[in-house]
């Protein structure tokens, strides 16, 4: 159970495409398609669709099939069966909020890149021992924020993070200024009320602002 160089390089290429990774939850495939187009038009080309609703797989599949130019990840993966279902639906990469042994095994053995989640130094060390160079840091705000990640630069210089949870427009740059942050994840670029109202122009505007942020 390890992270191969080829998949690590693919994940690095994906995460380098934009400073903000939208973390999205949808109740219908059509809303997912329209939101994905709006985000793409604002410059955010990589998306994470969470597996939190019964329609999540259909939403992911619809975005993969209908929205050209975007890279689509499947997030909030809690069971190995979800990993396999996400791959079958066409996901380009996988994301889990933590590192349970079963999901870690399924994700690291999957044919597509996997971004596992951590919230402690011990979890980060365990991933580094397996050859991981990227991890989701969740929940970023409650788990220590930018100060926590800054403290990990010296002891774990080869591990880079995608902080998610409590990240928004007001603090995203404080994470992105750190040398061990690849990009940040957040839902503020596609607020639920904007999705429900079909306010795609607002989402495009928020995406445009987010895509102008700079990672170090």
Catalytic site positions:
48, 136
From residue 66, how far is each of 63, 131, 145, 187 by CA, in Å?
5, 35, 36, 22
Which helix or strand (DSSP H or E) is residue 30 part of? Answer: helix 29-41
> Which letter does DSSP use for residue 164 in this model?
B
Helix locations, 91-215, DSSP H: 101-109, 121-129, 140-143, 145-152, 172-176, 192-197, 200-211
d(CA 27, CA 107): 25
d(CA 173, CA 215): 8
Q: Which of 119, 85, 113, 82 is nearest to 99 (CA)?
A: 119
Exposure string for 35-72, b = 16+ CB within 10 A, e = fewer? bbbbbbbbbbbbbbbbbeeebbbbbbbbbbeebeebbb
Left if phi > 0, otherwise alpha if psi is -120 to 50, otherwise beta: which for 65?
Answer: alpha
Contacting residues for 147 by C-beta, under 8 A, at least 6 apart: none
């Amino acid at each position: 159970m390890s992270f191969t160089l080829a998949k690590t390089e693919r994940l690095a290429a994906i995460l380098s495409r934009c400073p903000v990774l939208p973390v999205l939850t949808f109740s219908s495939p059509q809303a997912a398609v329209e939101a994905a187009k709006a985000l793409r038009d604002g410059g955010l080309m990589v998306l994470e669709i969470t597996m939190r609703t019964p329609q999540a797989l259909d939403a992911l599949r619809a975005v993969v099939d209908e929205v050209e130019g975007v890279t689509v990840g499947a997030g909030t993966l809690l069971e190995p069966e979800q990993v396999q279902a996400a791959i079958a639906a066409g996901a380009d990469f996988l994301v889990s909020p933590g590192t349970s042994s079963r999901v870690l095994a399924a994700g690291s053995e999957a044919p597509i890149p996997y971004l596992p989640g951590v919230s402690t130094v011990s979890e980060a060390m365990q991933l580094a021992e397996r050859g991981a160079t990227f991890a989701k840091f969740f929940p970023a705000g409650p788990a220590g924020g930018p100060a926590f990640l800054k403290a990990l630069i010296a002891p774990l210089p080869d591990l880079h993070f995608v902080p998610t949870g409590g990240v928004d427009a007001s603090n995203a740059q404080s994470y992105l200024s750190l040398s061990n942050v690849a990009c940040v994840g957040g839902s503020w670029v596609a607020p639920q009320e904007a999705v429900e109202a079909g306010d795609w122009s607002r989402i495009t505007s928020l995406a445009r602002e987010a895509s102008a942020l700079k990672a170090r």
